[in-house]
Structure 1
Amino acid sequence: MTSLKDNHQELKREMSSRHLFMISLGGVIGTGLFLGSGYTIGQAGPVGAILSYLVGGFIMYLTMLCLGELSVAMPVSGSFQTYTTEFISPALGFTVGWLYWFGWAVTVALELLSSGLLMQRWFPDSPVWMWCAIFGIALFLLNALSARAFGETEFWFSSIKVSAIILFIILGGAGLFGLIDMKNGQAAPMFSNFVNTPLLPHGITGLLLTMITVNFSFQGTELIGIAAGESKDPEKTIPKSIRNTVWRTLVFFVLAIFILAGLIPYQEAGVIESPFVAVLDNIGIPYAADIMNFVILTALLSVGNSGLYAATRMLYSLSKTDMASSKLGKVNQKGIPMNALMITFGIALLSLLSGFFAEDTVFMVLLSIAGLGAQVGWISISASQLAFRKQYLKQGGKVEDLKFKTPLYPILPAAALILNLTVLVSLAFDPSQRIALYCGIPFMIVCYLIYHLRIKGKRLEDSRNAA
């Protein structure tokens, strides 16, 4: 365990608790909430949508408890890839690391492409690729300056999103309960949408399908673990960041969904582009669409910023465990793994091209693997915590000596593992998500074979030479 910590001292510990908290929040609050929440309400109904977010939040909470124990005991950049390698299987760690890296690299491309498309609202005659290039270069430079510069930028990106959600909850709540007048003299709906709608309008199937989508929308909180290797005083900052992230994310999401479901009939929620825009427009907020366009643009750039950081640190971690070229583990004087950053940015730009030339085929395949990578990451976190605690106790360690403990071991970690595996298996029952398994499983099998055919022998040889 000591050697792993020593391997990562080249990164500079410059990020505070507020940076970690906002980085995690920045990875979560994105288009899944601002655009995808309408689908959830339309499929599950008002009560079912709230239930979906509560269950998704519970799975997130259990997973973050597991990550907290691991990242405080071993605050390394790359986190769960290192934990999976150390406590479960190097081959599985190799597979998880590369799948997660590739997923975030592709996600960066998606966020850049989506940002370019949003700019068409204000500059309809400008080419999308121009905005992709401008935003892409900006994110690259922010990540290249220093870990602190990245953290500070993400803090402000996330602050805009959080402020927008708080303002939406206040204004939406006032419209819902008649404290401000609705547009065109409409009566305040109060609880009518909840009372007059069937509990589950599309049955249990509709609820289960939305739970898959909702669980994916919570993914990004694991970025706390990725950034652990560059956080100041990880024993204090990581637990504080995890607690803040979990309860604030749940409050923001559940309250926002409650307001949306109360103001928009579920039959209409699933067919509008952004339910947030529809609500603000119904309340009569001037320039509602432009305001939300700006907030969504900020959300996209925030996720892209976090994704570029996460993928770069994962590539760095793979290099430090002899699972990628040693050149990718080199850092500059500012503590930035520039080679890993440039490779990640290059892949993001390549996959961006597929969005223009084969958006109905190649790009959808890449995106499905991206979604799967985050879910596999959560599974590896809960499995690694179970394996870590078992090994820790076997080696004579005392639970009371752990600075952060997952409560009710092994019940809660086992519940996290089972629930995350259930979400993964559930993908097979959603036609729109099934492609993730069709593409992701062969990708993982190839990674597993590459490890045994090429990487394993090299790692054994290096360890013998080191001895």
Structure 2
Amino acid sequence: MTALTEHPDHLRRSLSNRHLQLIAIGGAIGTGLFMGSGKTISLAGPSIVLVYLIIGVMLFFVMRAMGELLLSDLRYKSFIDFSTDLLGPWAGFFCGWTYWFCWIITAIADVIAIAAYAQYWFPGLAPWIPAVLCVLLLLTLNLTTVRLFGEMEFWFALIKIVAICALIVTGFALVAWGFESPSGNKATLANLWNDGGVFPKGLGGFFAGFQIAVFAFVGIELVGTTAAETADPERNLPKAINSIPVRIIIFYVMALLAIMVVTPWHLVEAGKSPFVELFVLAGVPAAASLINFVVLTSATSSANSGIFSTSRMLYGLAQEDHAPGVFARLSRAAVPSLGLLFSCFCLLLGATLVYVIPDVVTAFTLVTTLAAVLFMFVWSLILCAYMAYRRKRPQLHQASKYKMPGGVVMCWVCLAFFAFVIVLLTLQTDTREALLASPIWFLLLGASYVWKRRRAVRAS
């Protein structure tokens, strides 16, 4: 049997710097920016820019901690490995399964969104058809090679980048032109402070913005799940992580500023995409179809990331004996195919369950808030692992060429910030319900872990 037909025993480093950069960008730009920015602007006014900046800065430090840990030992394939190594088997178990569940929830939301966006062009089409077709297409492409996943993410992310850059250029061009809308509103930088100042809704509005804005950053840690399949990680991983602040400034801050300088913040409608509204004002007749296409590719990109990362988490969990051993088997293309099939099965199962629930909007708010709470748990575990690494492996930290700025002090600052966001989630009824539901997941995980340990003891 030749090397080509054998089943490999490890993941291949097939993702180039080009793929990694765009995967990191795709992870940092959620569908929430296109569809949810209207709601965040109406809640917080111009101060929403500060909200995105603060969240972005905090998550940059989490990514730097993750980067130093992954590069401290190239045998680490993802954050499951260093969580298990530095905090203990329980941490790897909780981190891996929680991250898997996070992405299943997020991917379910994306698949339902894809079905809704497809109905814009095909109103008579049954919603389950585009949902199933999307999952089958992504499954087929992910089963082929990891390079194909990287290629898909590259082009999906590129579409998002072009759309956002077009919005920024259009917005500031309208300001330079002195554009005035049919309703008499002039495009000017003064729109940022003319209507009640930068904090028009006070601290209450400013804090309310955090609840939704934090969801937009879900997936920023994706670059950590690609570590085992990245060519030259010591060069490419730091480049991808270091560019996060620039991306946040360009894609979030500049886009939100472009929207608010053209349309005064109090005229931005919470239920509409401000991207569509701005292009309509600029006289682009196909604006709604254009943005629908962008959001459709954005949701497909997110679902693609979800399918990729959940299969890699199952692979990592199986290697650490936290999941059935079959998930550690790789196909001839060096892809964890059984993990992909299982994740896609759960995804389709979840998607059908959402159709059973009569109030889809309520269900969606619940699952996306739950996902954000669980993502914050994973981000916190990364920080705890970093602090354990500094305590247990000081020599590795000293030798590191990619040290986290601020070290342990910044870990505590970030953990305090996540605690602050959790408190904010108690202020609204819908987010409070999701927060109260999150302990159920940890109780299930805890019971599973205890059962697994007892079975292991009996077997020995």
The two structures share one fold, judged by TM-score above 0.5: yes
Structure 1 residues 410 and 122: alpha-carbon distance in aligned structure 2, compared to 1, 3 A threshold: same
Which whole-Å deviations, capped at 9, do the CAs of 1:160-193 have from their partners, x for residues lacking one? 10011111100111112326x4554956321232
Per the alignment, residue 455 of structure 1 pairs with 452
Identical aligned residues as a percent: 31
Structure 1 residues 17 and 76: alpha-carbon distance in aligned structure 2, compared to 1, 3 A threshold: farther
1:92 partner letter: A
The answer on 1:339 being equivalent to 2:325 is: no
Structure 1 residues 259 and 331: alpha-carbon distance in aligned structure 2, compared to 1, 3 A threshold: same
2:447 partner letter: L
The answer on 1:192 being equivalent to 2:179 is: no
Q: Which moved more, 1:413-422 or 1:319-328?
A: 413-422
Contact 2:215–2:369 under 8 Å retained in 1: no
Q: Name the CA distance, whole Å, in 2 between partners of 1:73 and 1:376.
A: 23
Per the alignment, residue 3 of structure 2 pairs with none
Q: Name the CA distance, whole Å, in 1 between partners of 2:73 and 2:218.
A: 21
Structure 2: any 5+ residue segments left out of the alignment?
1-7
1:45 partner letter: G
Per the alignment, residue 36 of structure 1 pairs with 36
Per the alignment, residue 19 of structure 1 pairs with 19
Per the alignment, residue 312 of structure 2 pairs with 313
The answer on 1:152 being equivalent to 2:151 is: yes
Query: How far is the alpha carbon of 1:38 from its aligned partner?
Result: 1.1
Contact 1:78–1:314 under 8 Å retained in 2: no
Instruction: Note the 1:21-170 alignment, pairs <5 A.
Output: 21-46=21-46, 48-75=47-74, 79-170=78-169
Q: Name the CA distance, whole Å, in 1 between partners of 2:195 and 2:88.
A: 49
Q: Which moved more, 1:344-353 or 1:112-121?
A: 112-121
Which whole-Å deviations, capped at 9, do the CAs of 1:317-367 have from their partners, x for residues lacking one? 111111100011111111111111111000000110112111537665544
Query: How far is the alpha carbon of 1:57 from its aligned partner?
Result: 1.1
Per the alignment, residue 262 of structure 1 pairs with 261
Structure 1 residues 386 and 339: alpha-carbon distance in aligned structure 2, compared to 1, 3 A threshold: same
Contact 2:72–2:396 under 8 Å retained in 1: no
1:25 partner letter: I
Which whole-Å deviations, capped at 9, do the CAs of 1:65-89 have from their partners, x for residues lacking one? 1111012123467622222222123
Q: Name the CA distance, whole Å, in 1 between partners of 2:165 and 2:256.
A: 12
Per the alignment, residue 407 of structure 2 pairs with 409
1:136 partner letter: V
Contact 1:76–1:228 under 8 Å retained in 2: no
Per the alignment, residue 216 of structure 1 pairs with 215
Q: Which moved more, 1:114-123 or 1:82-91?
A: 82-91
Contact 1:63–1:382 under 8 Å retained in 2: yes
Query: How far is the alpha carbon of 1:392 from its aligned partner?
Result: 0.4
Q: Name the CA distance, whole Å, in 1 between partners of 2:313 and 2:54.
A: 28
Contact 1:182–1:284 under 8 Å retained in 2: no
Aligned length: 450
Q: Name the CA distance, whole Å, in 2 between partners of 1:115 and 1:77.
A: 34
Contact 1:68–1:404 under 8 Å retained in 2: yes
Q: Name the CA distance, whole Å, in 2 between partners of 1:224 and 1:409.
A: 20
Give the secondary structure class of the aligned counterpart of 2:219.
Answer: coil
Which whole-Å deviations, capped at 9, do the CAs of 1:75-109 have from their partners, x for residues lacking one? 46762222222212322331222121012112212
Structure 1 residues 378 and 347: alpha-carbon distance in aligned structure 2, compared to 1, 3 A threshold: same
Q: Name the CA distance, whole Å, in 1 between partners of 2:254 and 2:328.
A: 43
Per the alignment, residue 4 of structure 1 pairs with none
2:293 partner letter: F
TM-score by length of 1: 0.91
Give the secondary structure class of the aligned counterpart of 2:216.
Answer: helix
2:329 partner letter: K
Query: How far is the alpha carbon of 1:385 from its aligned partner?
Result: 0.9
Give the secondary structure class of the aligned counterpart of 1:322.
Answer: coil
Q: Name the CA distance, whole Å, in 2 between partners of 1:461 and 1:9.
A: 29
Query: How far is the alpha carbon of 1:311 from its aligned partner?
Result: 1.0
1:15 partner letter: L
Give the secondary structure class of the aligned counterpart of 1:429.
Answer: coil
Q: Which moved more, 1:401-410 or 1:13-22?
A: 401-410
Query: How far is the alpha carbon of 1:305 from its aligned partner?
Result: 0.6
Per the alignment, residue 427 of structure 2 pairs with 429
Structure 1 residues 433 and 362: alpha-carbon distance in aligned structure 2, compared to 1, 3 A threshold: closer
Contact 1:178–1:188 under 8 Å retained in 2: no
2:24 partner letter: S
Query: How far is the alpha carbon of 1:398 from its aligned partner?
Result: 4.8
Q: Name the CA distance, whole Å, in 2 between partners of 1:42 and 1:187.
A: 17
TM-score by length of 2: 0.92
The answer on 1:379 being equivalent to 2:380 is: yes
Structure 1 residues 206 and 328: alpha-carbon distance in aligned structure 2, compared to 1, 3 A threshold: same
Contact 2:65–2:404 under 8 Å retained in 1: yes
Structure 1 residues 367 and 217: alpha-carbon distance in aligned structure 2, compared to 1, 3 A threshold: closer
Give the secondary structure class of the aligned counterpart of 1:335.
Answer: coil
Contact 2:29–2:251 under 8 Å retained in 1: no
1:211 partner letter: F
2:14 partner letter: E
